[in-house]
Amino acid sequence: MTMVDSATMKAALREYVEAFNAGDAARVCALYADHATVEDPVGAPRVEGRAAIEAFYAGAIKTGARLALVAPPRGSHGRSASITFQVQVTMNGHAVKIDVTDVMTFDDSGKIERMQAFWAPDDVHPA
Amino acid sequence: MTMVDSATMKAALREYVEAFNAGDAARVCALYADHATVEDPVGAPRVEGRAAIEAFYAGAIKTGARLALVAPPRGSHGRSASITFQVQVTMNGHAVKIDVTDVMTFDDSGKIERMQAFWAPDDVHPA
């Protein structure tokens, strides 16, 4: 059985942050499988498939949001890995920081097939 | 529908860390539902049910491991929340730090019914 390894998953997560902060939605989406799903935040309806995911990231990047890692990525003994960061963004004219942890699940080819973003309304703080 | 809220989940996660560091396996296990599962690390066989989970935490606490939070807990808009921390422990005579993120899923009564610990062999570092 081929399975993505921890180093590959962590490299993808670091590239995710860099690509997002470079404002390059296409580069972010290149990390995703065609059939991927994005649940951001967990508990909200999922964004499904490449076209919807591209629109999601284009919108997120348009806000001017920046991601700041607060700890190294974590791997697992399976197909999933996580990153913990703050989103720095202006909402309704106010600078805020949002505490977030993302869990990404990868397919055999090293593409992200599932993204889950953990943050709640009480994770949004004045910057 | 009753659903656990973010503040309740985060309080449980802080209590989890405090109870673990107090060396009190029963106090940790009191946070779990009877039918809970623990997957630590993700990709390893799951520990299922109260008796097995109690044995798991008794063993973990016996190692002298300590948990050090590195960021505030994250909630979600659903039933899950996460904590990101380092485990400080001695393995085979060597002090190590293990980078970990846990995702906990809660039932309606606020008990943890699923725990997933994200860490890989390359998340274990010399202390």
Confidence of residue A25 (pLDDT cuts 50, 70, 90): very high
Which residues of A are known catalytic residues? 16, 40
Nearest CA in chain A to B6: A120
pLDDT tens per residue across span A90-120 = 988 999 999 999 999 999 999 999 999 999 9
CB A105 within 8 A of CB A82: no
Q: Could A122 and B7 be called an inter-chain contact, meaning their C-beta atoms sit closer than 8 Å?
A: yes
**Could you state, in order of their start, the residue ranges of all structural domains in chain A?**
6-126
Q: Could A120 and B80 be called an inter-chain contact, meaning their C-beta atoms sit closer than 8 Å?
A: no
**Confidence (pLDDT) at A3:** 81
Which residue type, as a one-letter code, is found at position A77?
H
Q: Could A99 and B43 be called an inter-chain contact, meaning their C-beta atoms sit closer than 8 Å?
A: no
Select from A119, A92, A115, A90 the least CA-distant residue to A104: A115
Question: Does the pLDDT at position B1 exceed 60?
Answer: no
Angle at A67 between CA A74 and CA B3, to 5 degrees: 70
Does the CA dihedral A22-A36-A10-B76 come out positive or negative?
Answer: positive
What's the complex ipTM? 0.93
Mean pLDDT of the residues in chain B: 96
B75 touches chain A (CB under 8 A): yes
Confidence of residue B83 (pLDDT cuts 50, 70, 90): very high
User: Distance between CA atoms of A50 and A54, rounded to whole angstroms?
Assistant: 6
Structure tokens at B121: 């062999």
**Confidence (pLDDT) at B87:** 98
**Confidence (pLDDT) at A66:** 98
Q: Which of A77, A99, A101 sits opposite B42 (nearest CB)?
A: A77
Q: Could A75 and B120 be called an inter-chain contact, meaning their C-beta atoms sit closer than 8 Å?
A: yes
Q: Which of A43, A103, A123 sits opposite B103 (nearest CB)?
A: A103
Structure tokens at B103: 């995702």
The CATH architecture assigned to A6-126 reads Roll (3.10)
**Confidence (pLDDT) at B107:** 97
**Confidence (pLDDT) at A30:** 98
CB B115 within 8 A of CB B36: yes
Question: Does the pLDDT at position A1 exceed 70?
Answer: no
Report the gap between the CA of A101 and the closest CA in chain B (Å). Answer: 7
Does the CA dihedral A51-A56-A58-A59 come out positive or negative?
Answer: positive
Report the gap between the CA of A62 and the closest CA in chain B (Å). Answer: 23
**Confidence (pLDDT) at B91:** 87
- How many residues are listed for chain B in this entry? 127
Report the gap between the CA of A55 and the closest CA in chain B (Å). Answer: 21
Residues of chain A contacting B6 with CB distance shorter than 8 Å: 120-123
Residues of chain B contacting A71 with CB distance shorter than 8 Å: 70-71, 84, 99
Structure tokens at A88: 């720095």
B6 touches chain A (CB under 8 A): yes
Angle at A65 between CA A12 and CA B99, to 5 degrees: 40
Nearest CA in chain B to A86: B71
**Confidence (pLDDT) at B97:** 98
pLDDT tens per residue across span A41-94 = 999 999 999 999 999 999 999 999 999 999 999 999 999 999 999 999 998 899
pLDDT tens per residue across span B49-78 = 999 999 999 999 999 999 999 999 999 999
